[in-house]
Structure 1
Amino acid sequence: MNNFIYCNPTKLVFGKGQIARLGELIPADKHLMITFGGGSARRNGVYDQVVRALEGRTWTEFWGIEPNPSVETLRKAVAQGKEQGVDFLLAVGGGSVIDGTKLIAAGLLYDGDPWEIVLKGRAACGVPFASVLTMAATGSEMNSGAVISRYETQEKYAFYGNYPVFSVLDPETLFTLPKRQIACGLADTFVHVLEQYMTTPGQSRLMDRWAEGILHTVIEVAPKALGEERDYDTMSEYMLSATLALNDMIAMGVTQDWATHMIGHELTALHGLTHGATLAIVINGTLRTLRDQKHGKLLQYGERIWGITEGSEEECIDAAIARTEAFFRSLGLSTRLSEEGIGEASIAEVERRFNASGVHHGEARNVDGAMARSILEACL
């Protein structure tokens, strides 16, 4: 294993009725702003739970953080927070609301344009914030990363800020989510694990087994999570899997990839496609294109996750990739660019952007513009 330092300061407050504890979790002397998305928190009853939990307190609200949160919207939130002296934030929503709140937290202590923080890739400081999670997918509730879009220029980049002080996870908040959102969340969770697992074999038995445990859980709970009647135990397993997939736990001492995510971000920036939906497409092209590089891990994955043991090594790898694509199809998601009307023009633009920024992604740092093109062509 490689050297590493692991520290995750976020307190998880998990289970039924835990939103009621917000009053004791948020310091009473803070000037609080609560951030929301487009209004689902009102429709699913979470807003009312938050209001009851904070009875007797005063706060300001900011509504309208979009899926794929935009700096254009977040600038308004930063201005509102500065005007009202906000020194604590509570994000109520899914990963996009939490990601956006991370930039608001940093922007409240920054004199320039918040987009400059994104371009720097890391915030120097930020006001403390917490979250009430209502959509399991990104793991943003227990990590320091965020991804922000700039609609003016069709750009989307990641940056790192503070960890949430605490995050409340009540699986019952997932019961009313549309199937499409759950499908994209399951895909996001699955690919988060693959980005940390599907790299170099023989690094850590422990990290491999933890990662494989999450993959098995996602596969097992997916049908019931997408069903008409959702039960608490299923949504608990799904929600916690999404958190553990990206809180750095399975990344200790091992190489990581993330090329699929970086390509997916460009597709979202160009076409507005939901993040999890981009991953369900691109990961298949990544595995096809880099199968020689990932040979050993693909064999291990095929055997341990899908039970593939018969045939030549190349046949086993073919089967593992096919089973992966079939899993995403079972979620009701596209697995080919052509299904989303994406073709050569977008592939050329992604290649251009990778080359212009000089990036080299992947565990071998070999996913440049040309390799990104090859991966996307394998997704057509």
Structure 2
Amino acid sequence: MQNFDYFNPTRIVFGEDTIGRLSELLPSGARVLVLYGGASAEKNGTLAEVRAALAKHDFAEFGGIEPNPSYETLMRAVGQVHREQRDFLLAVGGGSVIDGTKFVAAAALFDGEPWQIMEARGENVTRALPLGSVLTLPATGSEMNNGAVITRRATHAKLPFHSQHTFPRFSILDPRKTFTLPPRQVANGVVDAFTHIIEQYLTYPAGGLAQDRFAEGLLQTLIEIGPRALAEPHDYEVRANLMWVATLALNGLIGAGVPHDWATHMIGHELTARYNIDHARTLAIVLPPMLQVRRDSKRAKLLQYAQRVWGITQGSEDERIDAAIERTRAFFESLDVKTRLQDYAINAAALDDLIAQLEAHDMTALGERQDVTLEVSRRVLEAAL
């Protein structure tokens, strides 16, 4: 197992009727800015509960954060923070809203042009405003980690950043807030969480026995409850388990002491930035061919994945690997998530531009061994057509 330093200060408040605890979770005298996305938080009553819980606090609101939060929108929120001297941020929504709130928290106190935060991947962030979240969409794990992904529309750049200063102080997770989500968003959440786990698990053996078993259990849980989350939208236990698995998928626990990949995510980000495809759907496009193209370097873990997650024990090694990759693709398709570039009217003529984007954003040596070159990325995209 590799050396690691695991730190996660986020307090999780999980269960029914927990939004009412906001008042006790916020610092006394905080000047709060509530950030949210579109109309769903208003329609499902979540914002009304938040407003009621904040009745004795000084708070204002900023809405309109997009599904892929944009630098342009978030800088308007930074302006509001400065004008109104807000000192605590509260994200109400899914991963995009929480990601955007983390950027606002860092940018509001940053000395310099805030896009430099993204260019430096957050290494230049030395302080940030405190923030909390009320989660409404289980998917990204942003409610319990320090990372975010932000898009700059003007340049089609979609980049990640991390900082120890942008962990939420607390996150409220009420599974009932997921009952009214559209099926597309629920399916996206399952795929997103599944791929987060894969990116930390399906690399090469590193002696992380507990991490492997944690990851395999989480993957099996998603396989079990993913279809049920779509078929039984008001089943509290199913939605509660989906919400918690999505959080555990990217709160640092299963990734401690083991290598990480993230090549699927980096290529997926370019597809989202260029074509505005839902983030999770880009992952479903890229992951199966990524595993095929890199099957030799991932052979040992692919065989372990086939046996422990999918129960595939018959056939040659290559046959078992093929079956595991095909079962992965079939799982995504069973959630009505398409897995080919052609499903989004993207053909071979688009690949040169996508490779150029990867090069422009310094994505030339990806993966757990930094051996996913631009040529390998091209092979992955060709196999995704």
Coarse TM-score class (shorter-chain normalised)? over 0.9
**Within 2, Cα distance between the matches of 1:38 and 1:111?**
30
Match of 1:40 in 2: 40
**Within 2, Cα distance between the matches of 1:235 and 1:203?**
32
Match of 2:131 in 1: 129
Counterpart AA for 1:163: F
Structure 1 residue 157: deviation in Å? 0.2
Secondary structure, in 3 states, of the residue corresponding to 2:24?
helix
| Counterpart check, 1:69 vs 2:69 | yes
Match of 2:235 among 216, 231, 235: 231
The superposition leaves residues 27-78 of structure 1 with CA deviations (integer Å, 9 ceiling, x where unpaired) of 1211110001012111001011111111222211100000100000001000
Structure 1 residue 111: deviation in Å? 3.7
Q: Confirm or deny: 8 A CA contact 1:69 1:149 kept in the other structure.
A: yes
- Give the TM-score normalised by structure 2: 0.97
Where in structure 1 do 4 or more consecutive aligned residues deviate above 6 Å?
none
| Counterpart check, 1:308 vs 2:312 | yes
Counterpart AA for 2:8: N
Q: Confirm or deny: 8 A CA contact 2:92 2:133 kept in the other structure.
A: yes
The superposition leaves residues 170-222 of structure 1 with CA deviations (integer Å, 9 ceiling, x where unpaired) of 00000000000010110000000000000012521111000001001101111
Structure 1 residue 358: deviation in Å? 5.7
Structure 1 residue 234: deviation in Å? 0.3
Q: Confirm or deny: 8 A CA contact 1:355 1:368 kept in the other structure.
A: no
Counterpart AA for 1:252: A
**What's the RMSD between the two structures over aligned residues?**
1.0
**Within 2, Cα distance between the matches of 1:11 and 1:272?**
33
1:14-53 to 2 correspondences below 5 Å: 14-53=14-53
1:353-372 to 2 correspondences below 5 Å: 353-356=357-360, 357=362, 359-372=364-377
**Within 1, Cα distance between the matches of 2:139 and 2:364?**
26
Q: Confirm or deny: 8 A CA contact 2:149 2:159 kept in the other structure.
A: yes
The superposition leaves residues 314-355 of structure 1 with CA deviations (integer Å, 9 ceiling, x where unpaired) of 110110011000000001011111111112233212222333
| Counterpart check, 1:376 vs 2:381 | yes
The superposition leaves residues 251-289 of structure 1 with CA deviations (integer Å, 9 ceiling, x where unpaired) of 111111000000000000000001001001100110110
1:1-380 to 2 correspondences below 5 Å: 1-122=1-122, 123-161=125-163, 162-356=166-360, 357=362, 359-380=364-385
**Within 1, Cα distance between the matches of 2:347 and 2:103?**
33
Counterpart AA for 1:101: T
The superposition leaves residues 118-159 of structure 1 with CA deviations (integer Å, 9 ceiling, x where unpaired) of 112112210100000000100000000000001111110001
The superposition leaves residues 280-318 of structure 1 with CA deviations (integer Å, 9 ceiling, x where unpaired) of 110011011001111111111011111100011111011
Counterpart AA for 2:374: G
Deviates more, 1:200-209 or 1:356-365: 356-365
Secondary structure, in 3 states, of the residue corresponding to 1:241?
helix
Secondary structure, in 3 states, of the residue corresponding to 2:28?
coil
Counterpart AA for 2:155: T
Deviates more, 1:4-13 or 1:200-209: 200-209
**Within 2, Cα distance between the matches of 1:188 and 1:196?**
13
Q: Confirm or deny: 8 A CA contact 1:353 1:369 kept in the other structure.
A: no
Secondary structure, in 3 states, of the residue corresponding to 1:251?
coil
Q: Confirm or deny: 8 A CA contact 2:266 2:363 kept in the other structure.
A: no
The runs of 5 or more residues in structure 2 that have no matched partner are none
Q: Confirm or deny: 8 A CA contact 1:10 1:163 kept in the other structure.
A: yes
Question: Cα distance 1:358–1:379, how it changes in 2: closer, same or farther (>3 A)?
Answer: closer
Deviates more, 1:172-181 or 1:348-357: 348-357
Percent of aligned pairs with the same amino acid:
51
Structure 1 residue 228: deviation in Å? 4.7
Secondary structure, in 3 states, of the residue corresponding to 1:148?
strand
Deviates more, 1:213-222 or 1:228-237: 228-237
Deviates more, 1:338-347 or 1:280-289: 338-347
**Within 2, Cα distance between the matches of 1:282 and 1:194?**
12
Counterpart AA for 1:239: M
**Within 1, Cα distance between the matches of 2:182 and 2:369?**
38
